[in-house]
Amino acid sequence: MVYSGADLELGRMLSLPLKRIYKYSTYGLYAIFMGFFCGFPMGAKVVSELCENKKLSKEEAVSLLGFCNNIGPAYFLGIIIPMLHACGYQNTLPFLFGMYGIPAVYGIFFSRRFAKTNASPVITKNAYQNETREKLTLTGCLKKACMENTQSLILLGGYVTFTNAFRIFLDFFRLSDNMKRVLSSFLEIMGGVQTIYTGTLPPQEKVLWIMTALSFGGISCLIQTSSFLEKAKLPLSSYLKNKTVITLISFGYYTLLLYIL
């Protein structure tokens, strides 16, 4: 979509409902939508590509990365919701808010802070026409997208395998089985969540650690994200700082929520 120019069209469509909430450019709104709709590391990938193609300033890209690279809704609805039901929590709306509402609200404040110090670029008619002329052909778009996506998939698979291998080192420490399961979820999220779920922790603690680990995303996601940020020369430290803040807020939210429920 970035190479074909469809990102601008979708961004324009999203401007009406989102522009009043998030003080970003049209491309920034597109990045927010893709980040929340597709999940990580797609949020980081889109922001990186937009910045690399000069469609986002570095400042706007860094600001967006603070909240739009989260777990995908397909995984959450297909895997996590059934786990919550199995743990005895039939009302999953509070958990849905915790997973997506907290980053979304965090992003609102973040966007306003960005707007105070930076002017969002205005996409004029002439700029739009120039971009239209610079678009790749359909064949060129498909080739470039397929090449980059294939490379990304191979890299992501390698990162997942690499971080999973580090679980072995947890056996060298005198930790309880449940503690190892929790720590493994902060290494690689997909397998780690399943490991917590099949453990012997009480249902309440299972849910707390599963949801907290999902908020962070795991070391595997961090490495995946860094590979995209490196291409656009965006700082990983800022992303990690904001991800840590959101994780701590989420931990407090879920602790209170599970106490109430």
57-to-63, 119, 140, 168 alpha-carbon distances in Å: 10, 10, 25, 41
Give CA–CA dist 83/52, Å, rounded.
39
pLDDT in tens, 191-240: 889 999 999 999 999 999 999 999 998 888 888 898 889 888 999 999 99
Give CA–CA dist 230/209, Å, rounded.
30
Answer yes or no: is pLDDT of 14 > 70. no
Q: Residues 253, 255, 259, 261: what is their CA dihedral angle, to the nearest 10 degrees? A: 60
Residue matched to tokens 């809704």: 73
Answer yes or no: is pLDDT of 41 > 50. yes
* Residue 143 pLDDT level (bands cut at 50, 70, 90): low
Please give the angle made by the CA atoms of 250, 242 and 230, to the nearest 5 degrees.
135
pLDDT in tens, 45-97: 899 989 988 888 999 999 999 899 999 999 999 999 999 999 999 999 999 99
- Which of helix, strand or coil describes residue 40? coil
- Top-confidence residue, 9 or 188: 188
Average pLDDT of the chain, as a whole number: 82
| Residue 45: inside a domain | yes
- Domain count for the chain: 1
Residue 112 is which amino acid? Answer: R
| Residue 224: inside a domain | yes
Among 72, 59, 57, which residue's Cα sits nearest to residue 103? 72
Structural domain boundaries, residue 101? 6-260
Give CA–CA dist 78/4, Å, rounded.
31
| Residue 204: inside a domain | yes
Answer yes or no: is pLDDT of 253 > 50. yes
Answer yes or no: is pLDDT of 114 > 50. yes
| Residue 49: inside a domain | yes
Phi-psi region of 118 (alpha: psi -120 to 50; beta: other; left: phi over 0): beta
| Residue 1: inside a domain | no
pLDDT in tens, 3-12: 545 555 665 6
Give CA–CA dist 104/223, Å, rounded.
23
Among 82, 101, 123, 110, which residue's Cα sits nearest to residue 207? 82
Q: What does R_g of the chain's alpha carbons equal in angstroms? A: 19
Give CA–CA dist 61/68, Å, rounded.
10
